[in-house]
Structure formats: structure tokens, C-alpha cells
Amino acid sequence: MNTLPNAVPNTAPNAVSHVVPRGIYRIELTRALCKACGLCVAWCPQQVLAADEQAYPVVARPEACVDCKACERHCPDFAIEVVRAQPQSAAVAPSARAVVA
């Protein structure tokens, strides 16, 4: 059975076999597309993002991200993306990927 790293076993009846703790998301900011409007910072319910001295967003608390994608949905310039990190065992080797022509 493949389990995620740092997964916590859940022993409750009828529960999912493992609960994955927070902090498993990667937030990708593309500064070249960003106009520093502050919408992503304002809409983040977990205060994951903060503004730097030039008002551009920076990831201040990545461990608090809950993958709500509010920042991504409200960015008018598509400059932010929240990506779920894949566990090492679930990653597919490049040579094993199918090539579609």
C-alpha cells in the first residue's frame, strides 16, 4: 500500500485509512504576470500570502495552505497557482509516461 509521507493513521470506525497533514501544497507565483493588485493576499482565508515591500505577493505561511484556491480564482492575471505536491511513491518516472501523438 502506498502511503503519503508524514501521513497520520486514522483509527476511527469507517474512516479513511490515512489523514494527510497540512502543508502539502506548493504555491507558484509568476511575478512577470503579476501586477501587485493584492487580491490574492486579501482573499486568502488562512493568511498564507503576504505583500512584500513592492506590494507583490509572497508565500509567508505555506504550511497553512488548505488548497481552497481563493487566491488562484481571484487573480485577474492568472499569476498564481496552487499545486498539490505528489508523494515520492506516486510520482511517475518520465520514461513511464505515455506519449500521445
Instruction: For 21-72, write each residue's pLDDT tens digit.
Output: 555 888 999 999 999 999 999 999 999 999 999 999 999 998 899 999 999 9
- What is the set of domains in the chain, with CATH numbers? 25-85 (3.30.70.20)
Q: In angstroms, rounded to a whole number, what is the distance separating the alpha carbons of residues 94 and 86?
A: 14
Cell digits of residue 39: 487580491
Task: Name the burial class of residue 36, with classes exposed (0-12), middle (13-18) and buried (19+) by CB atoms within 10 angstroms of its CB.
Answer: middle
79, 69 in Cβ contact below 8 A?
no
Given this model, what pLDDT does residue 73 score? 97
Name the least confident of 24-28, 72-76, 77-81: 24-28
- Tell me which DSSP letter residue 12 carries: S
At 18 the three-state DSSP class reads: strand
6, 44 in Cβ contact below 8 A?
no
Given this model, what pLDDT does residue 85 score? 75
